[in-house]
Amino acid sequence: MKEFPQSEALQRLPEQFFAKLVNKVMKVKEQHDDVINLGQGNPDQPTPQPIVEQLKKAADNPVNHKYPPFAGYPYLKEAVADYYKREYNVEIDPKTEVAVLAGAKTGLVEISQCLLNAGDTVLVPDPGYPDYWSGIALAGANMHEMPLKQENDFHPDFSELNDNTLHNAKLMFLNYPNNPTGAVATPTLFEEAISLGDKHDICIVHDFAYGAIGFDGKKPISFLQLPGAKNVGVEMLTLSKTYNMAGWRVGFVVGNRSIIKAIELIQDHYYCSIFGGIQEAAAFALKSDQSSVTQLVKMYESRRKALVDAAHKIGWNVQAPKGSFFAWFPVPKGYTSESFAEVVLEKARVVVAPGVGFGKHGEGYVRIGLLSDEEVLQEAMERIGKLQLFSQLVK
């Protein structure tokens, strides 16, 4: 059979690091039926039943059997605006400052294709969400990593960016609460980013996927709460984590009007929006009682305590995440993130995600998801503890 070459754009795509991890996990699972997978990022709880019931009702409506408007239904954009006003006291124009996405992942890839030309520079957090890299590669642009270090609370140090880099930069990605480190943003961080964006004409893209998940009674702040944010950028959020709607594929980009217009333009050529029934259910979720979200955050906070306490019990000197449903733990001395992940998979049958999969500055750490019951998290730590690897950790 004739084999056709892929485009240069596809050939530029980064290797999918975690596909290799999945293959290793599958091989171990073929021999053992007790593998504990803490390397995933897939919410383990069901979508709240009232949202599911709303979808069922909406599916019976013949209007939703037709093509939806290309840009999505106005009522959904209005629900997003209402959500921002209620949760963050931010005024949003639903007609010009909201775009509907088939999941935030889609928007995070699309925005590079909307705003970048070949050779442009993009500022990316390292470690960070690998799909930022994918959109940049498709656009033919160049990445400049902003290291996220523990001594800086896993925030980028903008003073390390030289004038030439800032002059060439067209886009900056930020993500708080952060995947993979679990760090949260401060107003000062966003203020500095806005100042840079304004001075150097850099579009700031804040990935707010974990925006609802903050701990110790502290609610994560929205980028759009800071003065001048809409002038220089946008925020992307998803219903996947907040309402356990990962499989529903619905998210939003909110903020700067020119960026919203560009996103909707590219989507006019890619999609015809998402199923109307899902849009109805999404609007319902955003506008309804948020008690399910409160309970979800309490559950993750309880799991966080169980995980961290169990880790300390086996001598693993770790810090609790401040937000998101991920923990970012240092590996023992003498191991890389990959070699440690391999050892705990093969000898303890526990899956963790090697930090290097999120960028070179993720080396020395592993990401652990809070997406299993407390008892499972504790058992995973007990299994790892039996390997006796934590007499001395990397400082």
pLDDT tens, position by position, 132-176: 999 999 999 999 999 999 999 999 999 999 999 999 999 999 999
Looking at the fold, whether 101 and 222 belong to one and the same domain comes out as yes
Q: What percent of the chain has pLDDT over 70?
A: 98
pLDDT at 32: 66
Q: Which of 235, 252, 287 is the last residue of a domain?
A: 287
Asked if the peptide bond before residue 130 counts as cis, ω within 30 degrees of 0, the response is no
At residue 278, the 3 state secondary structure works out as: helix
Q: Which range has the top average pLDDT, 26-30, 116-120, 187-191?
A: 187-191
pLDDT tens digits, residue range 214-260?
999 999 999 999 999 999 999 999 999 999 999 999 999 999 999 99
Looking at the fold, whether 202 and 65 belong to one and the same domain comes out as yes
Does position 34 have pLDDT exceeding 80, yes or no? yes
CB atoms within 10 A of CB 107: 27
Distance, in Å, from the CA atom of 113 to the CA atom of 135, rounded to the nearest integer, reads: 7
25 belongs to a structural domain? yes
At residue 205, the 3 state secondary structure works out as: strand
Does position 21 have pLDDT exceeding 80, yes or no? no
Type of residue at 139: A
369 belongs to a structural domain? yes
pTM of structure: 0.94
Looking at the fold, whether 201 and 66 belong to one and the same domain comes out as yes
pLDDT at 393: 47
pLDDT tens digits, residue range 56-87?
999 999 999 999 999 999 999 999 999 999 99
Looking at the fold, whether 207 and 349 belong to one and the same domain comes out as no
pLDDT tens digits, residue range 264-307?
999 999 988 899 999 999 999 999 999 999 999 999 999 999 99
Q: Which of 287, 304, 319 is the last residue of a domain?
A: 287
Going from the C-alpha of 181 to that of each of 127, 129, 154, the distances in angstroms are 8, 11, 7
Domain region containing 223: 49-287
At residue 101, the 3 state secondary structure works out as: strand
Distance, in Å, from the CA atom of 37 to the CA atom of 294, rounded to the nearest integer, reads: 25
Distance, in Å, from the CA atom of 358 to the CA atom of 328, rounded to the nearest integer, reads: 12
CB atoms within 10 A of CB 69: 13
Looking at the fold, whether 202 and 321 belong to one and the same domain comes out as no
Does position 14 have pLDDT exceeding 70, yes or no? yes
Q: What percent of the chain has pLDDT over 90?
A: 88
Looking at the fold, whether 116 and 187 belong to one and the same domain comes out as yes
Place of tokens 């919203």: 260
Q: Which of 287, 306, 325 is the last residue of a domain?
A: 287
Does position 186 have pLDDT exceeding 60, yes or no? yes
For 135, phi and psi rounded to 5 degrees?
Answer: -65, -40
Are 125 and 156 spatial neighbours (Cβ–Cβ below 8 Å)? yes
Residue spans of alpha helices (H) in 185-243: 187-200, 229-232, 239-242
CATH of the domain at 298: 3.90.1150.10
Place 391 in a pLDDT band, splitting at 50, 70 and 90.
low
Structure tokens at 346: 């093969």
37 belongs to a structural domain? yes
Looking at the fold, whether 173 and 219 belong to one and the same domain comes out as yes
At residue 347, the 3 state secondary structure works out as: helix
Looking at the fold, whether 137 and 242 belong to one and the same domain comes out as yes
Distance, in Å, from the CA atom of 280 to the CA atom of 68, rounded to the nearest integer, reads: 11
Looking at the fold, whether 125 and 156 belong to one and the same domain comes out as yes
Instruction: List the end-to-end C-alpha distance of the chain, in Å, as a whole number.
Output: 55
Distance, in Å, from the CA atom of 348 to the CA atom of 386, rounded to the nearest integer, reads: 8
